[in-house]
Amino acid sequence: MGAEPTPEKPAVPVKPLRADAARNRAKVLVAAREVFAERGTGASTEEVARRAGVGIGTVFRHFPTKESLLEAVLGEILAGFAEQARLRTESPDPGGAFFDFFQLVVGESATKNAVSAELTGAGIDLHASGDEVRQELRGALGVLLARAQEAGAVRADVGLGEVMALLAGTSQATGNLDVLMRGRVLDVVFDGLRGHSS
Amino acid sequence: MGAEPTPEKPAVPVKPLRADAARNRAKVLVAAREVFAERGTGASTEEVARRAGVGIGTVFRHFPTKESLLEAVLGEILAGFAEQARLRTESPDPGGAFFDFFQLVVGESATKNAVSAELTGAGIDLHASGDEVRQELRGALGVLLARAQEAGAVRADVGLGEVMALLAGTSQATGNLDVLMRGRVLDVVFDGLRGHSS
DNA sequence: GTAGAATCGGAGTGCTCACTCCGATTTCAA
DNA sequence: TTGAAATCGGAGTGAGCACTCCGATTCTAC
């Protein structure tokens, strides 16, 4: 019960992870992303392991629960979106940046609509680490929206919540549509976001 | 191999179904609708049976497969929507009729969003009898849309496919939102559907 | 190079769920 | 009223899945 020799112990002790462990963790994450995108989130953990070329035990050591694996995959995707949003926050064309980002997310989600379903329903049972990333995404998208509104490119009376709902809904809705229709749906939504202008 | 005594035999032989059988079938359908709405489509058939107050065997005699049960439930819902659409096809205010119907569907789906998820993803594995009802819905909604477009209430360059995608997406997206936000999201979508007017 | 710890692999476990089977019960025509 | 046929009920079956356990393997500090 004396002084702890450990120099630092932050809330989340980031242990350095062995070389092979890190490699396998990454392989599992990639495989999981593919498998869940193709077969839906109902795909078995065993299939993820097979695709990753590791044993089931390995998957479960890195992600003690299937839910935690889903969380991690979703977290990666959201982090990617957050990054894309951040890249655009200082664009000289705020309106273009906003709509460009919107289109990007919808297009990406269309390819892997199993994940987008999860994205839509998210908040029901995926919290934990996901919440942190979701906050980053909210933050970056919030800046994008605010700047677009200041520039008059987006109507002033919509909030971040509405935009995120619209983003999720449009992603979900256009998942099975061909590019042409998807474009027209986006056109309608964008028009609505611009507002009754002239 | 002589003349068949059976007077008529249409493609779908509608056998009159015994009294208790019909009663139970209806009870199962009601229970299924409730259970799937509350617990999601992953809810067990046993729970449906329990809620309906019948044995599992009974559920499986009426609906030989869980998928067929889902199909039947979805079919009922879609039939209800088709009916609502039909009721509005002769409205003196085509634009109002169209948007009114849109809002109705979104509002209904919001309550039971598990089903709306199925509605969105439908077409993947729910066909059969569902297709017939879906055609009715398409037909009625098509009339509503055409009339609204003739009246200039909806932009002319959107098709039925886009509208249905928007309908499904909006339903899905607003499932977890409160009434206020849902209203604002609908406002945006409606604005988009009206087009860059004024 | 080597010891010891961390990690791996995958057969095994227990549970849930869709679906079956058949004796008991109910319906209905005569 | 009655008896044959339709229907019911629910224990039982098999498959699939998330998750565990531990001997074998691989890494790394010295």
Among protein residues, the one whose C-alpha sits closest to the C1' atom of C6 is: A18
- pLDDT tens, position by position, A110-164: 766 555 555 544 433 444 556 788 899 999 999 999 999 999 999 999 999 999 9
Element containing residue A154 per DSSP (H, E): none
> Beta carbon of A17 within 7 Å of strand D?
no
**φ/ψ of residue B5, rounded to 5:** -70, -25
From the Cβ of B57, is strand D under 7 Å away?
Answer: yes
pTM as predicted: 0.85
Nucleotides of C under 7 A from a protein CB: 6-12, 16-22, 26-28
Helix/strand/coil for A150: helix
The whole-angstrom separation of Cα A117 and Cα A106 is 12
| CATH code: domain of residue B166 | 1.10.357.10
Distance CA A155, CA A158 (A): 7
Closest among B79, B76, B82 to B34, alpha carbons compared: B76
Residue B124 has a CB neighbour count (10 Å cut-off) of 12
Neighbours of A124 (CB within 10 A): 12
- Domain of residue B37: give its range: 18-64
In a domain, A52, yes or no: yes
Same-domain check for residues A130 and A48? no
| CA–C1' nearest nucleotide, residue B69 | C18
CATH number where B46 lies: 1.10.10.60
CA–CA gap between residue A73 and residue B66 (Å, rounded): 30
Nucleotide minimizing C1' to CA distance for residue A22: C7
When CB atoms are compared, the residue of A165, A184, A194 closest to B162 is A184
Whether residues B96 and B176 fall in one domain: yes
Q: Please state the length of chain A.
A: 198
The position carrying tokens 């994205």 is A119
Q: Is the CB of B51 under 7 A from strand D?
A: no
Q: Distance from residue A73 (CA) to nucleotide C12 (C1'), in Å?
A: 28
CA-based R_g, chain B, Å: 20
3-state secondary structure of A54: coil
C-alpha distance from B19 to closest chain A C-alpha (Å): 39
Are A136 and A79 a contacting pair, CB within 8 Å? yes
Nucleotides of strand D lying closer than 7 angstroms to a protein CB:
6-12, 16-22, 26-28
Q: Is residue B56 located within the same domain as residue B146?
A: no
SS3 label, residue A128: helix
Number of separate domains in chain A: 2
Same domain, yes or no: B110 and B121: yes
Is any atom of strand D within 7 angstroms of residue B24's beta carbon?
yes
Let me know whether A84 and A47 are in one domain: no
Chain B residue with Cα closest to A171: B169
pLDDT in tens, A15-64: 788 999 999 999 999 999 999 988 988 999 999 999 999 999 999 999 99
Judge whether residue A60 contacts strand D, using its CB and a 7 Å cut-off: yes
Tens place of pLDDT for every residue, chain B, 198 residues?
A: 433 344 444 445 677 889 999 999 999 999 999 999 888 889 999 999 999 999 999 999 999 999 999 999 989 998 999 999 999 999 999 999 999 999 999 998 876 655 555 554 443 344 455 678 889 999 999 999 999 999 999 999 999 999 999 998 898 888 878 889 999 999 999 999 998 754
Do the domain assignments include residue B6?
A: no
B84 and B104 within one domain: yes
Mapped to the 3 state alphabet, what secondary structure does chain B carry? CCCCCCCCCCCCCCCCCCHHHHHHHHHHHHHHHHHHHHHCCCCCHHHHHHHHCCCHHHHHHHCCCHHHHHHHHHHHHHHHHHHHHHHHCCCCCHHHHHHHHHHHHHHHHHHCHHHHHHHHHCCCCCCHHHHHHHHHHHHHHHHHHHHHHHCCCCCCCCCHHHHHHHHHHHHHHCCCCCHHHHHHHHHHHHHHHHCCCC
One-letter amino acid for residue A30 of the chain:
V
d(C-alpha A129, C-alpha B167), whole Å: 32
